[in-house]
């Protein structure tokens, strides 16, 4: 049960020392209650209070990490049912399945192909992170072939606990997710997981068995659990996913874990698996497992995931700065626009495509697009003029010309007043028209 700010305040040292960055312990308590601060920020809280506060402030869905290095995938930790209520924090892991009947050479070829599915969008490298290795006889060798030939993290899938133990040992330090733990074998799987300190996925026969299974694992000492409700139809996978999230947010700790879903065991058709995965990414899956990756499948899922797990309350921004594009020099044109990341990436993409060397000035505007920033007074003529003056661009160019976005044409007068001696030109409204504009444009 979450504590109120006042209840948290009573557990804090009360010295108002400000080490946490808040002006008072009460202010820190309020921030903690609203999720804007972490308890670790207060170095002086007693162990007893820390235990009480940690338990009370634990998220309703336990966060955990699968894997290692750059592809370590943090899942769970969610606190809301709907993204617009706050935000979703930890993006769904996207996995493909490999069977241990495949040779090591084939596995190496496959995972190298998987690693090619990487896409740079809005300054982020979007890629799938996980490989599920299924089998028994060669589970350890196949899992080793994955980590030796890629940086992808592994989910082990074997009902043979001896094979699971061998493969878990072979992946020491790689933090695989191991399973399935079922009602029949969960004590053995728990033992392997606790020894290796790795998370476990628990496969129930159906949604009704989930609570019994997680209780059993928790009693055995396993904390990091991923729930597989056992659903292998689209309808059950979807309804179970929603039911588990609702139960967890309702305070039922037996359901307070992230989930894994297997669209690859619902259908063989990759396009259908992709459609099912898309629904489950939107509706709460911690990990979705496909039978394979191809561009037409992975790319839309990555973009969907990016959209869903972006904080809707914070526009994506780029840093206010001077960005050189196509190796500009002292005679190259200068463009200015806002720091809304979509604006930046569309404009920079078009400028790059034009092959015209340019300087792109990005002005801080609270992540708003040009028209919105102008309407909100964040992209006014004197403000933009002042920014150009102070940006340092004058040290990089010989001319005094700057291009403003077509949607901000009305700031031209104020800008010219602020930037005495500069020539301010109005660029096109649409970024797509920039290449032609730049080819016809001459600095003066
Ligand atoms: S660091 Fe701890 S004791 Fe100091 S003001 Fe913050 S909450 Fe209070």
- 276-300 pLDDT, tens digit per residue, is 999 999 999 999 999 999 999 999 9
Q: How far is the CA of 32 from the centre of ligand 1 (A)?
A: 12
Task: Give the position, in ligand 1's atom list, of the atom nearest the Cα of 25.
Answer: 8
Span 200-212, pLDDT tens digits: 999 999 999 999 9
Q: How far apart are CA 287 and CA 263, in angstroms?
A: 10
Question: Which pLDDT score is estimated for 2?
Answer: 63
- Where are the extended beta strands (E) located within 332-398? 334-338, 358-363
Span 341-377, pLDDT tens digits: 889 989 999 999 999 999 999 999 999 999 999 999 9
Q: What is the pTM of this model?
A: 0.77
Confidence band of 138 (pLDDT split at 50, 70, 90): very high
Q: How far is the CA of 12 from the centre of ligand 1 (A)?
A: 7
Q: Is 90 exceeded by the pLDDT of residue 109?
A: yes
Please check whether residue 244 is in contact with residue 227, taking contact to mean a CB–CB distance below 8 angstroms.
yes
Least trusted range by pLDDT, from 39-48, 140-149, 388-397, 416-425: 39-48
Please check whether residue 384 is in contact with residue 320, taking contact to mean a CB–CB distance below 8 angstroms.
no
Q: How far apart are CA 326 and CA 286, in angstroms?
A: 41
Task: Give the position, in ligand 1's atom list, of the atom nearest the Cα of 29.
Answer: 7
Question: Which pLDDT score is estimated for 38?
Answer: 81
Question: Which pLDDT score is estimated for 411?
Answer: 96
Question: Which pLDDT score is estimated for 435?
Answer: 96
Other beta carbons within 10 angstroms of residue 278's beta carbon come to 18
Q: How far apart are CA 112 and CA 105, in angstroms?
A: 11
Please check whether residue 244 is in contact with residue 210, taking contact to mean a CB–CB distance below 8 angstroms.
yes
Residue nearest to atom 7 of ligand 1 (CA): 25
Q: How far apart are CA 404 and CA 411, in angstroms?
A: 9
Please check whether residue 317 is in contact with residue 341, taking contact to mean a CB–CB distance below 8 angstroms.
yes
Question: Which pLDDT score is estimated for 7?
Answer: 87
Task: Give every CB contact of residue 219 below 8 A, 6+ residues apart in sequence.
Answer: none
Q: Higher pLDDT residue, 38 or 346?
A: 346
Question: Which pLDDT score is estimated for 216?
Answer: 97
Q: How far is the CA of 429 from the centre of ligand 1 (A)?
A: 51
CA nearest to 143, candidates 220, 217, 196: 196
Q: Is 60 exceeded by the pLDDT of residue 1?
A: no
Alpha helices, H only, 171-233: 186-196, 210-219
Question: Which pLDDT score is estimated for 441?
Answer: 94
Task: Give the position, in ligand 1's atom list, of the atom nearest the Cα of 45.
Answer: 2
For the chain, first and last CA: distance in Å? 66
Mean pLDDT of the chain: 94
Span 226-273, pLDDT tens digits: 999 999 999 999 999 999 999 999 989 999 999 999 999 999 999 999
Question: Which pLDDT score is estimated for 86?
Answer: 82
Average pLDDT over residues 6-31: 92
Question: Which pLDDT score is estimated for 167?
Answer: 98
Other beta carbons within 10 angstroms of residue 220's beta carbon come to 17
Q: How far is the CA of 144 from the centre of ligand 1 (A)?
A: 47
Average pLDDT over residues 80-93: 91
Percent of the chain at pLDDT > 70 equals 99
Residue 22 in contact with ligand 1 by CB distance below 6 A:
yes
Other beta carbons within 10 angstroms of residue 213's beta carbon come to 24
């Amino acid at each position: 049960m979450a504590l109120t700010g006042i209840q948290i305040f009573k557990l804090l040292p009360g010295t108002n020392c400000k080490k946490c960055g808040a002006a008072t312990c009460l202010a820190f308590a309020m921030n903690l209650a609203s999720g804007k601060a972490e308890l670790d920020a207060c170095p002086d809280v007693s162990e007893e209070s820390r235990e009480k506060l940690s338990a009370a402030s634990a998220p309703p869905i336990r966060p955990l990490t699968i894997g290692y290095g750059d592809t370590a995938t943090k899942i769970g930790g969610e606190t809301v049912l709907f993204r617009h209520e706050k935000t979703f924090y930890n993006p769904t892991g996207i996995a493909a399945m490999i069977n241990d009947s495949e040779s090591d050479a084939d596995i190496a070829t496959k995972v190298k192909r998987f690693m090619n599915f990487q896409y740079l969008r809005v300054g982020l490298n979007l890629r799938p992170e996980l490989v599920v290795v299924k089998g028994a006889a060669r589970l350890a060798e196949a899992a080793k072939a994955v980590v030796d030939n890629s940086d992808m993290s592994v989910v082990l899938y074997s009902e043979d606990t001896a094979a699971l133990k061998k493969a878990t040992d072979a992946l020491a330090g790689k933090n695989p997710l191991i399973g399935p733990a079922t009602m029949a074998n969960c004590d053995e799987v728990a033992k392997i997981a606790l020894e290796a300190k790795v998370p476990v996925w628990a496969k129930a026969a159906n949604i009704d068995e989930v609570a019994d299974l997680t209780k059993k694992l928790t009693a055995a000492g396993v904390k990091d659990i991923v729930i597989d409700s056992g659903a292998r139809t689209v309808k059950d996978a979807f309804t179970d996913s929603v039911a588990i999230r609702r139960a967890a947010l309702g305070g039922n700790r037996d359901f307070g874990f992230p989930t894994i879903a297997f669209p690859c065991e619902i259908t063989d058709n990759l396009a259908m698996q992709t459609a099912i995965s898309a629904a489950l990414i939107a509706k709460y899956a911690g990990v979705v497992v496909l039978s394979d990756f191809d561009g037409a499948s992975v790319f839309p899922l990555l973009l969907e995931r990016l959209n869903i797990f972006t904080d809707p309350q914070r526009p994506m921004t780029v840093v206010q700065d001077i960005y050189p594009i196509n190796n500009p020099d002292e005679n190259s044109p200068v463009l200015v626009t806002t720091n809304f990341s979509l604006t930046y990436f569309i404009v920079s993409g078009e400028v790059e495509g034009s092959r015209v060397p340019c300087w792109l000035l990005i002005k801080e505007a609270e992540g708003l697009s040009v028209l919105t920033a102008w309407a909100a007074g964040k992209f006014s003529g004197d403000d933009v003029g002042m920014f150009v003056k102070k940006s340092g661009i004058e040290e990089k160019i010989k001319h005094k010309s700057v291009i403003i976005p077509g949607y901000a044409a009305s700031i031209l007068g104020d800008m010219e007043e602020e930037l005495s001696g500069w020539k301010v030109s109005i660029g096109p409204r649409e970024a797509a028209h920039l290449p032609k504009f730049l080819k016809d444009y001459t600095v003066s």
